[in-house]
Amino acid sequence: MAEKKFEEALKKLEEIVRKMESGDLTLEESLKSFEEGVSLSRFCAKKLDEAERRIDILLKNEEGLDIQPFEEESENNN
C-alpha cells in the first residue's frame, strides 16, 4: 500500500465529515465512516507531529534548540 499524503488524507477526512453532518447515512455507514475518520485523523496528527519535529531540528543552533512557541511570537508583534 502506497503511503498517503497529508493533503489527500485531510481532504478525505473533510469529505467524511460533510457526509456525516448531512445526516443521510445509515447507522452502519456512519459507523464505517467514523472508523475511517478516526484513522485519517490519527494519520494527520502523526504527520503534523513529524513536521513539527523536523522544524525543531531546523531551528537548532549551536547552543541547542532555540524554539519560540507561536503564541509568544505573535503576542510580541502586537
We report the CATH number of the domain holding residue 10 as: 1.10.287
Query: Which three cell numbers, joined as nine digits, stand for 49?
Result: 507531529
Query: Alpha helices, DSSP H only, in 23-67?
Result: 27-58
Query: Which three cell numbers, joined as nine digits, stand for 42?
Result: 490519527
**Domains held by the chain: number:** 1
Cα separation, 8 vs 78, whole angstroms:
35
- Do residues 22 and 42 make contact, with C-beta atoms less than 8 angstroms apart? no
Q: What is the value of pTM for the model shown?
A: 0.67
Report the range of poorest mean pLDDT among 22-26, 35-39, 65-69, 74-78: 74-78
pLDDT band at 59 (very low <50, low <70, confident <90, very high): confident
**pLDDT at position 75 over 90:** no
Is the residue at 1 inside a domain? no
Across the range 48-73, mean pLDDT stands at: 70
Cα separation, 33 vs 76, whole angstroms:
42
Is the residue at 52 inside a domain? yes
Is the residue at 54 inside a domain? yes
Q: Which domain holds residue 24?
A: 6-65
Q: Which residue has the higher pLDDT, 63 or 28?
A: 28
Is the residue at 74 inside a domain? no
